[in-house]
Amino acid sequence: ILNVEQSPQSLHVQEGDSTNFTCSFPSSNFYALHWYRWETAKSPEALFVMTLNGDEKKKGRISATLNTKEGYSYLYIKGSQPEDSATYLCAFLYNQGGKLIFGQGTELSVKP
């Protein structure tokens, strides 16, 4: 059984706060780690696809790091804005090919 765990489950911050979430995943059979953003009434959209241990990726105010040896990834949002409010999902792509397992997500609410 592959377990992908995310914490915290929910987060409420004020506009301008910086925040971070954690995704833990199996440290064996790793192929890739994905981060998605899921807004209400929309489909999940990919933020990052990370493959190499030590990877750091950035898109605007959002960045992510990856540690495949210990099985975790962090997602950071700098200076949160109300439009960042969404559920953030990480997903583990298993190296046997094809199996993409999601965590339960972190629901972020940013108050103006």
Partner 1 sequence: SQTIHQWPATLVQPVGSPLSLECTVEGTSNPNLYWYRQAAGRGLQLLFYSVGIGQISSEVPQNLSASRPQDRQFILSSKKLLLSDSGFYLCAWSVLGLNTEAFFGQGTRLTVV
Which stretches of the chain bind partner 1, using CB under 8 A?
A: 6, 9, 31-32, 34, 36, 38, 43-46, 49, 51, 87, 89, 91, 97-105, 107
Q: How far is CA 99 from CA 7, 21, 29, 32, 63, in A?
A: 22, 23, 11, 11, 25
Cα–Cα nearest to 45, from 20, 62, 28, 30: 62
Q: Which lies closer to partner 1 via its Cβ, residue 14 or residue 40?
A: 40
From CA 37, how far away is CA 48, in angstroms rounded? 10
**Closest distance to partner 1 from the beta carbon of 89 (Å):** 7
CB nearer partner 1, residue 44 or residue 71: 44
* Cβ 94 to partner 1 shortest distance, Å: 10
Instruction: Compare residues 16 and 99 and give the one whose CB is closer to partner 1.
Output: 99
d(CA 53, CA 26): 13
